[in-house]
């Protein structure tokens, strides 16, 4: 697959942010052209360049600093000199020289073990041809999701080092203070460097062991960014899932995850008020993305014998909903089958709540209520309350339903969902 993709203008480039500073010393048109070129390279290549720059020494922080410096240099040089024929090669050459300057500095040399000092005779970049930059993003993703890295920081690390997001943006998505997120990322990078977590694609056996953590971290990027309002981190996570599936080549669950994130992205409409999936107008969905997601799902399904995994099943459920754009109806019996399979493969609380909601449609609200997990397991999980409320309502237990809608409304951070549930409950809950 081509590295340069643009998912309907939903991807954001970080060169507009703090990592690259625009200069106003030159003619505005040249500056715009140069800035546009830098943005295009950043969008397509940020993770590739970081991976190549960090791989020889494992120093991600230095690689990112050097690359940011190279982008700054590009923005002052390109408007004057013109955009080079091979912008990636230009950037990596400048960034590499910046790394060498740091390695040669006395302060740095005094701070590393003699045996490890990169100011050694053998240049870690000897043999790297700027015109043919290898793709080491899978190595970088494997580092981010390494078992020695705290699972909670794996997704943020991917968003920063592979996608180029600022710590502050990631902090917002994960609802932690920016300083806390910055500290976690710095600590993880120090750990990668000092413990020497290798930039290597694990061999086939080890890769099979480690792929679930890789997929989980990319899924984490998607889940956390789902209803991100303006920045469209959700688009970034979808891009990352497709990159991972492409790099892994024939991993069935990786294509399942690519399909899941793509189909979900297609139905994403942060501007509008919250509407439950089965009441959405298919005309509002992004048809091109749905087609793309369906093609990934077909690729997953063709990926081998045996039962589908969790991500493929979740993607298949999304595809059933998406199919309403053709048939005009939702195939609830198909969803019922898939939800049972999902609970067998991955009996998470979310999967069991989803199964109860679907059985409520196919087998009646009492059947749904019977399948809903016990209150002790579900009562701190917002979708449990929302599903329970809907089932109670349809079972004619209006008073209990109203209470449950109220609880569900209180538990969400999303103003659109809160407004929807409050309306359902016939309650007015002040915002905030």
CB 173, min distance to another protein, A: 23
In the DSSP assignment, the letter for residue 274 is P
Binding region for another protein (CB under 8 A) out of 196-204, 234-242, 260-268, 333-341: 196-204
Per CB under 8 A, the list member of 11, 26, 61, 331 interacting with another protein is: 61
Cα 312 from Cα 296, distance rounded (Å): 10
Binding mask 31-60 for another protein (x = CB under 8 A): ----------------------------x-
Among 17, 202, 212, 416, binds another protein (CB under 8 A): 202
Taking contact as CB under 8 A, which single stretch among the options 173-181, 199-207, 369-377, 408-416 is the one that binds another protein? 199-207
Task: Tell me if 74 sits within 8 A of 89, measured CB to CB.
Answer: no
- Range in contact with another protein (rule: CB under 8 A) among 187-195, 307-315, 340-348, 374-382: 187-195
196 lies in the site for another protein, by CB under 8 A:
yes
Min separation Cβ 16 and another protein, Å: 24
Identity of the residue, 120 or 298, whose beta carbon is nearer to another protein in the bound complex: 120
User: ∠308-304-224 over CA atoms, to 5°?
Assistant: 45
CA pair distance 136, 49, nearest whole angstrom: 9
Count the site residues for another protein by CB under 8 A: 22
Name which of 51 and 371 has its Cβ closer to another protein: 51
Token pair belonging to 205: 């056996």
Hey, CA dihedral for 140, 83, 17, 265, is it positive or negative?
negative
- The reply on whether position 336 binds another protein by CB under 8 A is no
Span of 161-169, 200-208, 319-327, 342-350 interacting with another protein by CB under 8 A: 200-208
Binding mask 94-123 toward another protein (x if CB under 8 A, else -) reads ----------------xxxxxxx-------
Q: How far apart are CA 402 and CA 415, in angstroms?
A: 19
Q: At what angle do helices 252-266 and 310-322 cross, to 10 degrees?
A: 30
DSSP 326-348: HHSS--HHHHHHHHHHHHHH---
Tokens standing for residue 314 = 């979740």
Q: Which of 197, 254, 266, 421 binds another protein (CB under 8 A)?
A: 197
- CA pair distance 134, 320, nearest whole angstrom: 39
118 vs 256, which CB is nearer to another protein? 118
Which tokens sit at 70? 């190279």
- Both tokens of 80, joined, read 């004057």
Distances (CA, A) of 107 to 11, 104, 110, 111, 393: 39, 9, 5, 7, 69
Taking CB under 8 A as the criterion, the residue among 3, 200, 209, 281 binding another protein is 200
190 binds another protein (CB under 8 A): yes
Q: Which positions touch another protein (CB under 8 A)?
A: 59, 61, 110-116, 146, 148, 186, 190, 193-198, 200, 202, 206
């Amino acid at each position: 697959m081509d590295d340069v993709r643009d998912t309907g203008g939903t991807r954001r480039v970080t060169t507009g942010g703090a990592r690259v500073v625009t200069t106003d010393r030159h003619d505005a048109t040249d500056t715009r052209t140069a800035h546009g070129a830098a943005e295009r390279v950043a969008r397509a290549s940020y993770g590739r360049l970081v991976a190549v720059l960090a791989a020889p020494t494992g120093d991600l922080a230095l690689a990112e600093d050097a690359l940011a410096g190279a982008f700054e240099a590009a923005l002052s040089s390109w408007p004057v000199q013109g955009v080079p024929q091979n912008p990636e090669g230009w950037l990596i050459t400048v960034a590499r020289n910046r790394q060498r300057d740091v390695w040669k500095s006395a302060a740095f040399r005094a701070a590393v073990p003699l045996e490890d000092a990169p100011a050694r005779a053998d240049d870690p970049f000897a043999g790297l041809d700027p015109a043919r930059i290898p793709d080491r993003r899978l190595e970088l993703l494997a580092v981010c999701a390494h078992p020695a890295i705290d699972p909670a920081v794996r997704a943020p690390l991917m968003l920063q080092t592979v996608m180029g997001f600022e710590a502050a943006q990631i902090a917002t998505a994960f609802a932690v203070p920016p300083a806390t997120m910055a500290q976690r990322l710095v600590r993880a990078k120090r750990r990668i460097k000092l413990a020497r977590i290798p930039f290597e694609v694990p061999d086939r056996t080890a890769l099979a062991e480690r792929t679930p953590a890789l997929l989980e971290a990319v899924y984490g990027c998607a889940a956390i960014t789902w209803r991100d309002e303006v920045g469209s981190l959700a688009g970034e996570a979808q891009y990352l899932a497709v990159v991972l599936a492409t790099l892994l080549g024939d991993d069935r669950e990786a294509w399942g995850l690519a399909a899941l994130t793509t189909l979900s992205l297609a139905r994403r409409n942060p501007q509008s008020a919250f509407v439950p999936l089965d009441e959405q107008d298919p005309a509002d969905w992004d048809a091109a993305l749905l087609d793309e997601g369906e093609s990934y799902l077909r690729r997953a399904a063709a990926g081998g014998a045996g039962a589908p995994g969790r991500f493929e099943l979740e993607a298949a459920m999304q595809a059933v909903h998406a199919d309403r754009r053709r048939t005009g109806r939702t195939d609830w019996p198909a969803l019922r089958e898939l939800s049972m399979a999902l609970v067998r493969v991955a009996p998470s609380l979310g999967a069991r709540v989803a199964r109860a909601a679907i059985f409520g449609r196919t087998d009646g609200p009492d059947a749904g209520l019977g399948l809903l997990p016990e209150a002790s397991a579900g009562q701190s999980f917002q979708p449990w309350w929302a599903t329970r409320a809907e089932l109670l309502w349809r079972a004619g237990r209006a008073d209990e339903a109203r209470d449950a809608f109220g609880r569900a409304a209180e538990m969400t951070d999303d103003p659109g969902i809160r407004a929807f549930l409050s309306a359902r409950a016939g309650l007015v809950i002040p915002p905030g």
